[in-house]
Amino acid sequence: MSLIEETDYGTPAVRSDKTVTLTIDGVQVRVPEGTSVMRAAKELGTTIPKLCATDSVAAFGSCRLCLVEIEGRAGTPASCTTPVAEGMVVATQTPKLAKLRRGVMELYISDHPLDCLTCAANGDCELQDMAGAVGLREVRYGYEGANHLTAAKDASNPYFTYDASKCIVCSRCVRACEEVQGTFALTISGRGFGSRVSPGQSEAFMTSECVSCGACVQACPTATLTETRVIEIGQPEHSAITTCAYCGVGCTFKAEMRGEELVRMVPWKDGKANRGHSCVKGRFAWGYATHRERVTEPMIRSSIDEPWKVVSWDEAIAHTASEFRRIQAKYGRDSIGGITSSRCTNEETYLVQKLVRAAFGNHNVDTCARVCHSPTGYGLKTTFGTSAGTQDFDSVAQTDVMVVIGANPTDAHPVFASRMKKRLREGARLIVIDPRRIDLVRSTHVEADHHLALRPGTNVAVLTAMAHVIVTEGLVDETYVRERCDLQAYAHWAEFVTLPQHSPEATEAVTGVPAADLRAAARLYATGGAGAIYYGLGVTEHSQGSTTVMAIANLAMATGNIGRPGVGVNPLRGQNNVQGACDMGSFPHEFSGYRHVSEDETRHLFEQAWGVALGAEPGLRIPNMLDEAVAGAFKGIYIQGEDILQSDPNTKHVAAGLAAMECVVVQDLFLNETANYAHVFLPGSTFLEKDGTFTNAERRIQRVRRVMRPRNGYADWEITQKLSNALGYPMDYAHPSQIMDEIARLTPTFAGVSFDRLDALGSIQWPCNDAAPEGTPVMHIDHFVRGKGQFILTEYVPTEEKVGPRYPLLLTTGRILSQYNVGAQTRRTENSRWHEEDVLEIHPHDAEERGVRDGEWVRLKSRSGETALRAKVTDRVAPGVVYTTFHHPLTQANVITTDYSDWATNCPEYKVTAVQVSRGNGPVEWQVEYSEQSRKSRRIEAAE
Ligand code: SF4
Ligand code: SF4
Ligand code: SF4
Ligand code: FES
């Protein structure tokens, strides 16, 4: 094995229908018009020496190393900034150029430490390479004069170091921060000799607005910006291409290794979701994989009050199987169930639902999408016919108007947010619909045209009012609707949205959105060109989550914004494989590919393949499993990679349900909060330790590749397989590729997917079958999957959760960039330096009324419960609204949230809770008790 090399073409690729033919060093080449001479040469295989150019950012032309001679032109132009021209004749290697280049290099080297042998970048330094490439043999200038050799280091960032003594002021980092990441955290301060890279206002990286995405580190050609890990342990020696295991963007990385030790994760340029970019989580926050708290041996206990006992894998599996069979014998076949993980691979989730259906003999399987995007499945299937986003991420480059509703991409989907920001800087327009002033509303060089700061819980009223404007002002794309949609349903809908009670003026009092703003936003979406809607959990986690998804789909159909690049309806999926978990049949009513268990043909297909009889009635959803547990009928559960105690609503009810069960089996990396109620703990494996696939938010199936042996001994799919065999239902897969082959055989939308094809194509967006052998980037092109697009009436039904004198504020929740979900992974990395605890954002007016000051403890109380956390006084939230994140178990935001849920899917209403905030003086009683109980529950019996 060796390191996978990537080609740097020097300048970005250019898209143009016109091509130009030129001659470079006597060889003809044809390239798109606008391509640089440097890139054209590289396409031919000719490398022109360079330092300030790299193909992730526009050329700058400062180092003067890439000079060439062009027939008929005076001087020696820089090849990185010179575009090709028809008939151009270029020479890249002449004695004159060689001399000039050596002179340039001599100047650079004369102000550069000559410590190559002990430098962290030795062997991976473009300055070193270029000195060799131009044949520099001596440096005539001494080090006596002024130089930068003793310039200070900035090691404030835990993940990378800035060593100013090695900086050649090429500004690649500055341009990467601007063009790739869009944060504009860096500048070159000073002039001439005094020039230096400067974060923020000459601050340290850690205190500047830098978000640690790593783009500057990636772009730096020297050791100036280097990963701390490389400095500590040295350069990697082999690598593999894999997929980030954090969010639904699905960034591709090169995992660079030394033996079985991960040295760094480098974003992969050919990754179609990320195009070479990364965020702080995927790039740097993987230290949890080797964290000391990771559990690597199976454990059992007969009661949750007892300490854990470490046992062998055989004993743990045999014990689990015998407990599950005992429970079924006593309480019936339906008394047990399972939960699949959106963090695990497709193959692993498929296997868990197969275990439940074939070995447990029921459909009691569910997944965490229940609490996040189940309304997306319902809403998009009803309107379009497919439970998934319509576009690929590349599509955003052709979008003219973006609508972002109930999503905060810069924190939750940061790499895609950078692509959005790039398009916005190019001139696309932006509408943000969110109670909170998220970063996209206003950040460097990005400003939303409209921010509709609606009251939490009023999405449907706002979207229906937008539809009212579009219909009553004659902005409907009538040709599209006539050709593509069900006309009767459209007519009903148009009549419905036209009703006066849906006008922006009528809904303003409920939504809090000024009618004029809403009208302007609706007009912009309908008439501004290609319009794309991006949404997140701020849409789905409501009692009207499914209605809101359908309201979004209605708007897109009415304006003809479905079925071509640049438009579409795009759910931004939270977890890395939540799309895949849903695709794989993790819901109690569906087999893989979203086919209902009551469909005879489908059921018979699975019965035949699996050799078991399958029921036609759906099984239990997670909330029903917990209800049944409390009622005494549901007694055992297998939970793979999910912390339902922390992530599901109404913590007390979840705890009561788990406590009422006789066998709770948790399979995870750490003793999570749910494991406090477990009887069996099966240690899980990380994404670095297994093969498989994840499916991201754009339906893109991508390979996960094993780069180290599982520390716990087995990949998660192997553990499920062992359990199935112990239960008497045989499974004998030798490799996850065989599981994918079975999925492809049984799932029409995956029919063309195999590991071989994934290896050949890099990634595939489903549907992938005979009709689309390379996958489907954009869906519903000529017709909707369901045939005609279906308009649905979206009556606004206010949530039953109401503010009143006792609970006058509305709490809404979300994520922060540095942490991920319940924080089990990111809290065990240096990312906690950015976010040590959850805080409550409160408007200055509301804070003052309550005598609350910034940084002080406050009590947060709802009808369901109470918790305490520190306050952050900010006008990012409107008066009357408070906001917090849910990354830390001690805060347990879900103690506060209510039992209300989406009418169609049971997705909990996390985004609207009526609360009161008062001054506090530290954690409340249950938080103190909980910490103690949690500590007790984690005791492990000392080895004999
Ligand atoms: S890490 Fe990212 S945000 Fe920070 S300075 Fe570098 S490019 Fe900019
Ligand atoms: S830090 Fe690196 S990329 Fe930035 S100017 Fe210096 S050498 Fe160039
Ligand atoms: S954007 Fe998401 S997938 Fe990409 S690196 Fe960050 S966490 Fe990973
Ligand atoms: S690489 Fe062209 S001027 Fe630096």
Report DSSP state, residue 177. Answer: I
Q: How many CB atoms lie within 10 A of CB 483?
A: 13
Q: Is 66 in the pocket of ligand 4 (CB under 6 A)?
A: yes
- Residue labelled with tokens 């009551």: 598
CB 941 within 8 A of CB 310: yes
Q: How many CB atoms lie within 10 A of CB 122?
A: 14
The rounded Å distance from CA 160 to ligand 2 centre is 13
- Residues lining ligand 3, Cβ inside 6 A: 244, 246-247, 249-251, 274, 278-279, 281-282, 413-415
Q: How many CB atoms lie within 10 A of CB 758?
A: 18
Is 251 a residue whose pLDDT tops 90?
A: yes
- Give residue-wise pLDDT tens across range 534-593: 999 888 887 889 999 999 999 999 999 999 999 999 999 878 999 999 999 999 999 999
DSSP H or E run through 558: helix 545-558
Closest CA to 253 of 286, 277, 235: 277
3-class DSSP assignment, residue 2: coil
Q: Closest ligand 3 atom, CA of 245?
A: 8
Question: Which segment of 374-378, 612-616, 851-855 scores lowest on mean pLDDT?
Answer: 374-378
- The CA distance from 317 to 680, in Å, is 9
- Residues lining ligand 2, Cβ inside 6 A: 167-173, 197, 219-220, 222, 224-225
Is 527 a residue whose pLDDT tops 50?
A: yes
Q: Which residue has the CA at smallest separation from atom 3 of ligand 4?
A: 61
Report pLDDT for 93: 95
Closest CA to 156 of 123, 203, 107: 203
The rounded Å distance from CA 833 to ligand 2 centre is 25
Q: What is the mean pLDDT of residues 709-733?
A: 97
Is 71 or 652 the better-scoring residue by pLDDT? 71
Starting from the CA of residue 204, give the closest ligand. 1
- Residue labelled with tokens 């018979």: 604
Closest CA to 815 of 542, 540, 549, 536: 536
Is 390 a residue whose pLDDT tops 70?
A: yes
Closest CA to 4 of 243, 251, 257, 219: 257
How many helices and strands in the chain, by DSSP H and E?
29, 37
- The CA distance from 593 to 602, in Å, is 10
The amino acid at residue 534 is: Y
Q: What is the mean pLDDT of residues 468-483?
A: 97
Is 135 a residue whose pLDDT tops 90?
A: no
- Residues lining ligand 1, Cβ inside 6 A: 176-177, 181, 183, 185-186, 199, 210-216
- Cis previous bond, 767, omega within 30: yes
Give the pLDDT band of residue 143 (cuts 50, 70, 90): low
Starting from the CA of residue 148, give the closest ligand. 2
Q: Is 65 in the pocket of ligand 4 (CB under 6 A)?
A: yes
339 Cβ contact list (under 8 Å, min separation 6): 352, 365, 366, 367, 368, 622, 637, 638, 639, 640, 642, 644
The amino acid at residue 84 is: V
Give the pLDDT band of residue 140 (cuts 50, 70, 90): low
595 Cβ contact list (under 8 Å, min separation 6): 602
Report pLDDT for 145: 60
Q: Which residue has the CA at smallest separation from atom 5 of ligand 3?
A: 282
Where helices occur in 45-189 by DSSP H, the ranges are 95-110, 126-133, 172-175
The CA-CA-CA angle for residues 302, 307, 310, to 5°, reads 80
DSSP state string for 661-690: -SEEEEEESS--SGGGG-SEEEE---GGG-
Q: Which residue has the CA at smallest separation from atom 3 of ligand 2?
A: 220
CB 227 within 8 A of CB 252: no
Give the pLDDT band of residue 797 (cuts 50, 70, 90): confident
Q: What is the mean pLDDT of residues 135-151?
A: 65
Give the pLDDT band of residue 148 (cuts 50, 70, 90): low
262 Cβ contact list (under 8 Å, min separation 6): 255, 256, 286, 289, 688, 707, 708
**pLDDT over 70, % of the chain:** 97
Starting from the CA of residue 183, give the closest ligand. 1
pTM: 0.93
Q: Which residue has the CA at smallest separation from atom 1 of ligand 4?
A: 50
DSSP H or E run through 217: helix 215-219
- The CA distance from 682 to 844, in Å, is 47
Q: What is the mean pLDDT of residues 871-888?
A: 89
Closest CA to 858 of 866, 869, 848: 869
In this structure, what token pair is assigned to residue 857? Answer: 């403890």
Report pLDDT for 193: 66
The rounded Å distance from CA 99 to ligand 4 centre is 16
DSSP H or E run through 726: helix 716-726
- The CA distance from 35 to 43, in Å, is 11
Is 936 a residue whose pLDDT tops 80?
A: no
Give the pLDDT band of residue 167 (cuts 50, 70, 90): very high
Q: Closest ligand 4 atom, CA of 48?
A: 1
Q: Which residue has the CA at smallest separation from atom 7 of ligand 2?
A: 167
3-class DSSP assignment, residue 750: helix
Closest CA to 727 of 357, 243, 185, 308: 357
Residues β-bridged to residue 162:
154, 225
The rounded Å distance from CA 163 to ligand 2 centre is 10
Report pLDDT for 139: 67
Is 944 a residue whose pLDDT tops 60?
A: no
**pLDDT over 90, % of the chain:** 76
Q: What is the mean pLDDT of residues 905-931?
A: 82
Give the pLDDT band of residue 230 (cuts 50, 70, 90): very high
In the chain, the N- to C-terminal Cα span, in Å, equals 42
The amino acid at residue 924 is: V
- Give residue-wise pLDDT tens across range 77-89: 999 999 999 999 9
Q: What is the mean pLDDT of residues 27-36?
A: 97
Starting from the CA of residue 49, give the closest ligand. 4
Is 799 or 104 the better-scoring residue by pLDDT? 104
In this structure, what token pair is assigned to residue 81? Answer: 């900034």
